[in-house]
Amino acid sequence: MRLSLQTDYALRTLLFLATRTGRTTVADVAGFFEISAHHVGKVVHQLGRLGYVRNLRGPNGGIELARAPAAITVGQVVLDFEGNMHLLECVGAPSRCVIQPGCTLRVVLTQAEKLQMDYLNGVTLESLLPTPLDLAIFKA
């Protein structure tokens, strides 16, 4: 599996927000990771539409998590941003393949996808957060 840049930025943004108390800005996220504020803005808009973040306008506006870090799984974010991630077309549409009745490859790839998504769905944003010691070292 190879994730898109948009999914990468979404995961980074969520991790950044989870380490902050209160609101922050798209510019802060982009500056921290040294990435395009324009691209981060698009990702934040999508994160807002999906209910991961709140986008607040105005002088006291900014962005903040809309869900607790424990309620956000890497698997769900990946699925929301990537959509269909089947290794082969036949995994998602079994009737597509003319050799499907005797094909064991589809079964193997289906199981591989399931194991991967089960693992990612078991990883919460909270479990990825650095410890206070990690943050102190990281900020130094």
Mean pLDDT of the chain: 86
Is the residue at 70 inside a domain?
yes
Q: Which two tokens stand for residue 118?
A: 């089960």
Angstrom distance (rounded) from CA 58 to CA 65? 17
User: Running DSSP on this structure, what letter comes out for residue 131?
Assistant: P
Question: Is residue 39 included in any domain, yes or no?
Answer: yes
Please write the tens of the pLDDT for every residue from 90-135: 766 666 666 666 777 877 888 888 899 999 999 999 999 987 655 5
Residue 40 lies inside a defined structural domain of this protein? yes
Q: Which domain holds residue 35?
A: 5-134
In a domain, 139, yes or no: no
CATH number at residue 128: 1.10.10.10
Q: Are 43 and 10 in contact (CB under 8 A)?
A: yes
Q: What single-letter amino acid sits at 104? A: T
Q: Give the pLDDT confidence score for residue 97 in this predicted structure.
A: 67
Count of structural domains within the chain:
1
Q: Note whether 67 and 51 are within 8 A (CB).
A: yes
Is 140 within a domain? no
